[in-house]
């Protein structure tokens, strides 16, 4: 297919762009590089540096089979402090993209949605039919985009798939997490191990879980990328398919720290702090719909996620700076 990867200079988008090229698809990467990195764009991909709001310009006149949309602001804390930034970038930007997709007759869309659309779950594992009650502007913006896509599919022949990720980790094709502001547990733990980041804070050890620390669902970025390729042909014209992506079981914070110590051979320095307001005890996906509709299941283990992330982290030693 002739594909456009919006946000293809970012962590997940660059891995997906590499996989698409590996499988023989044509790839145009579009990214404003506000948080992505131009050097993460695969050399064999075409690249346009542009804002998603200018979709009418960069899509005009191109013969395109599918758009894969990763461009978004994605920091929960920042979304609480600056909600207008999230509505403007994630929602208004995507509205411009959807208008350009319709105007150019592009038949397929795969959207990078989020488990943040669910908010505090009533039960786990979380299915796609669970109530959507996002607890912050980031999650609300992702849900708003999902609703816009549903409306677009109902009014046109657009075939769309929203993939709601849980926690993504690991590295693939030489691409890994390079966030200036890092909020994810695994890269922060790896940085704490070698002193490139401060010691971790574990937010509570009195949760109603097996070991007292929160449980989260992790999926390897390579597995995630495979789901995007499968999603290209999963939806029918006029259908908006929503699938969760996760391993379906979950790992506690202590599980992750133990795996980091096993992989690196070093202790993870950390302190225990109070619980964070709004944190749920468990967030675990049901990925049964992805298995049924995409033919997808998570395959790689937590050890593989940490080992690949550690190899990438070491490869960037002395190259990246940490804010």
Query: Which residues are the active-site residues?
Result: 138
CB distance 244 to 290 below 8 Å: yes
CB distance 248 to 284 below 8 Å: yes
Peptide bond into 125 cis (omega under 30): yes
Q: How far apart are alpha carbons 114 and 27 in whole angstroms?
A: 24
The upper half-sphere exposure of residue 128, i.e. CA atoms within 13 Å in the direction of its Cβ, equals: 21
Classify 256 as helix, strand or coil.
helix
The upper half-sphere exposure of residue 63, i.e. CA atoms within 13 Å in the direction of its Cβ, equals: 2
H or E element that contains 264: helix 253-264
The upper half-sphere exposure of residue 323, i.e. CA atoms within 13 Å in the direction of its Cβ, equals: 6
Q: How far apart are alpha carbons 131 and 119 in whole angstroms?
A: 9
Structure tokens at 65: 């089979």
């Amino acid at each position: 297919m002739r594909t456009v990867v919006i946000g293809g200079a970012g962590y997940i988008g660059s891995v997906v762009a590499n996989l698409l090229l590996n499988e023989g698809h044509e790839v145009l990467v579009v990214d404003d590089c506000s948080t992505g990195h131009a050097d993460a764009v695969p050399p064999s991909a075409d690249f346009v540096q542009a804002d998603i709001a200018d979709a009418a310009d960069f899509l005009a006149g191109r013969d395109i089979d599918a758009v894969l949309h990763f461009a978004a602001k994605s920091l929960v804390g920042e979304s609480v402090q600056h909600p207008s930034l999230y509505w403007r970038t994630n929602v208004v930007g995507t509205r411009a993209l959807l208008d350009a997709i319709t105007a150019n007759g592009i038949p397929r869309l795969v959207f990078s949605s989020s488990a943040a659309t669910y908010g505090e779950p009533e039960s786990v594992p979380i299915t796609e039919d669970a109530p959507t009650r996002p607890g912050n502007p980031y999650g609300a913006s992702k849900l708003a985009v999902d609703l816009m896509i549903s409306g677009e599919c109902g009014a046109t022949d657009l075939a769309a798939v929203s993939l709601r990720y849980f926690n993504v980790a690991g590295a693939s094709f030489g691409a890994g997490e390079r966030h200036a502001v890092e909020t994810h547990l695994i890269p922060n733990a790896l940085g704490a191990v070698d002193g490139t980041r401060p010691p971790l804070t574990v937010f509570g050890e009195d949760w109603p879980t097996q070991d007292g620390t929160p449980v989260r669902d992790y999926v390897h970025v390579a597995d995630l990328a495979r789901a995007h390729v499968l999603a290209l042909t999963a939806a029918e014209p006029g259908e908006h398919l929503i699938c969760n992506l996760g391993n379906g079981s979950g790992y506690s914070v202590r599980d992750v720290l133990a795996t980091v110590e096993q992989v690196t051979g070093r202790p993870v320095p950390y302190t225990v702090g109070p619980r964070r307001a709004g944190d749920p005890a468990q967030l675990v996906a049901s990925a049964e719909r992805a298995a049924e509709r995409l033919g997808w299941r998570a395959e790689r283990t937590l050890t593989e996620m940490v080992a690949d992330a550690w190899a990438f982290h070491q490869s960037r030693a002395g190259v990246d700076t940490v804010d």
